Structure 1
């Protein structure tokens, strides 16, 4: 009997949210996404030692301030893991721009272009890569420029309609609206209990998806950050869903039907949507306590893990000196 994962693959592009190469080989997703947290876990995995050792050997040949060398090694690690993932999956690999650049458009552009060059040096074209950027105003402005340069982007840490609208107006290739972190916020605020249908993260993604389809927006909607398979089932039919290996395994073990919950055949577009300038975007985000808090919290968490990765690389460099 087909599993729920089999049924999901029939209507949604399944993406693995991991840097675990063995898990990706086993689960055979179409695409892969990573972030600083997942990269840190991957680097700490003994199975990744050859990749890490190569980056450290390369780093020892570099000159300049130690902080710059460490940053360069971290960039090399991100691309090295991405290249390994690209050799396994048939589709795209998302590689994230440093989270501490989330409010710097020009630095984000420079880092994104460097990532693409690094992949090209490994024989991997830009059509296989998504540059992952936090959905701040500055990040969305950078994505608009990158899209005009035919560098496709994945805007992450997306929690509200204002972020989704700004991404659509910027011509972003793909957005990653979060589900579980929205649920976390509402539960902490005393809400619930929730079902798959009433889960506020599910409701948010459905709203964004339906608005995009009704308005003819081409930006891909990829639900992310899941806490349980009920959330995934409630978004069956979404363009893409990026899912952890643990939840993919749970879906693979579950039998029974999986009805389509989202369809690209939307209803009328409704009232015209006014374009968002910077002031309107920032005000709308500020008015949404959940979105503004979770965006800031997410950036802080990714920066923390990025700093941990840099510290780990610096220690290994020092130990080998």
Structure 2
């Protein structure tokens, strides 16, 4: 999925930007900030059948308003929330709870992470998806005990079949 941000200051400009972005790729998801003009734009953009990601969300109330205006994805900035109110994970989890409680047709797309622990906590809280930087992605996958285990597999293999061999060599 490709999400692209509109930056206009008024609803009509945001709608025009959404149309222009959509002309480049009909599958693009339009990112719209949760501001009074952004909410108006979401309604207009949604009426044209475009998919929307609401951005710059800092409260569950903003998330609810965005869903009601047509947003399919809600992108709370977890690390920014941590810096402002101290618990971005909890705020994002509340957004997911509201969606689930009221059976709303939307998903929380957690964004702005500084570490793997935030991603892990959101997964436990039932967040639907995340967008993460490459360094956080790498840290999700890398663990020294995994590397140690793989080294053990290779060592055991090479003890039986010879150093530098692999499965293709013995099939």
User: How does the TM-score come out when normalised to structure 1?
Assistant: 0.43
Distance in 1, Cα, partners of 2:119 & 2:99: 19
Taking structure 1 as reference, are residues 210 and 107 closer, same or farther at Cα in structure 2, changes over 3 Å only?
same
User: Is contact 1:147–1:173 with CA below 8 Å preserved after alignment?
Assistant: no
The count of corresponding residues between Structure 1 and Structure 2 is: 143
1:1-321 alignment, distance < 5 Å: 92-98=1-7, 101=8, 103-119=9-25, 126=26, 128-186=27-85, 200-236=87-123, 237-254=126-143
Distance in 2, Cα, partners of 1:111 & 1:166: 21
Deviation at 1:238, TM superposition (A): 1.5
The structure whose RCO (Cα within 8 Å, separation 6+) is larger is: 1
Distance in 2, Cα, partners of 1:255 & 1:133: 40
Distance in 1, Cα, partners of 2:143 & 2:43: 40
Higher Cα radius of gyration: 2
Unaligned runs of 5+ in 1: 1-91, 120-125, 187-198, 257-321
Query: Would you identify which runs of 4 or more consecutive aligned residues in structure 1 move more than 6 Å?
Result: none
Distance in 2, Cα, partners of 1:243 & 1:164: 20
Taking structure 1 as reference, are residues 200 and 107 closer, same or farther at Cα in structure 2, changes over 3 Å only?
same
**2:109 partner SS:** strand
User: Is contact 2:32–2:52 with CA below 8 Å preserved after alignment?
Assistant: yes
Distance in 2, Cα, partners of 1:149 & 1:230: 38
User: How does the TM-score come out when normalised to structure 2?
Assistant: 0.78
Deviation at 1:235, TM superposition (A): 0.8
Unaligned runs of 5+ in 2: 146-171
Distance in 2, Cα, partners of 1:252 & 1:200: 25
RMSD between superposed Cα atoms in Å: 1.6
